[in-house]
């Protein structure tokens, strides 16, 4: 079977991802539906009378897959911002490259409102 590691680690990872996502919204991550659901689900499915419970393993696998999804999306977006997110230079910046400045016309150009 796939090497998943202890469920506690998966839960920690998921909560960490939640924390990163909630950091932008200002709302504490413990306040979100997702947090409550995750903690409840992990607690509820922890106990099983069978030694080698396939359903439990399936759920853990799903949680680990979801964690992989969240983590790789976050890292992908971060890499995109760092390396591919700059876009074109503005006209001012392009002029500044060769040491020029854009002309400043007091009163604006004729066609502007």
Partner 1 sequence: MHLTTLCNTSLDNPTQRNKDQLIRAAVKFLDTDTICYRVEEPETLVELQKNEWDPILEWAEKRYGVEIGSSTSIMGPSIPARTREVLVSHLASYNMWALQGIEFVVTQLKSVMLTLGLMDLRLTVEQAVLLSRLEEEYQIQKWGHVEWAHDYELRELRARTAAGTLFVHLCSESTTVKHKLLQE
Q: Which is nearer to partner 1, 51 or 84 (CB)?
A: 84
CB of 56 to partner 1, least distance (A): 12
The set of residues, in sequence order, having a beta carbon less than 8 Å from that of 57 and lying 6+ positions away, is 1, 4
CB of 42 to partner 1, least distance (A): 14
Which residue ranges make up the site for partner 1 (CB under 8 A)? 1-4, 44, 49, 57-58, 61-62, 64-66, 68-69, 72-73, 75-76, 79-80, 82-84
Cβ atoms of 61 and 4 within 8 Å: the answer is yes
Cβ atoms of 41 and 94 within 8 Å: the answer is no
Q: Which is nearer to partner 1, 56 or 95 (CB)?
A: 56
- Selection from 66, 63, 65, 52 nearest residue 7 by Cα: 63
């Amino acid at each position: 079977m796939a090497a998943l590691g202890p469920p506690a680690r998966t839960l920690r990872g998921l909560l960490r991802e939640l924390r990163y996502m909630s950091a932008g919204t200002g709302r504490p991550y413990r306040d979100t539906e997702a947090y409550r659901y995750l903690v409840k689900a992990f607690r509820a499915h922890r106990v099983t009378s069978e030694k080698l419970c396939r359903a439990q393993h399936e759920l853990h696998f799903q949680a680990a897959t979801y964690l992989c999804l969240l983590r790789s999306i976050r890292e992908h977006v971060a890499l995109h911002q760092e390396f591919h997110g700059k876009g074109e230079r503005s006209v001012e910046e392009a002029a500044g490259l060769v040491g020029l400045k854009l002309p400043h016309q007091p009163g604006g150009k004729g066609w502007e409102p």
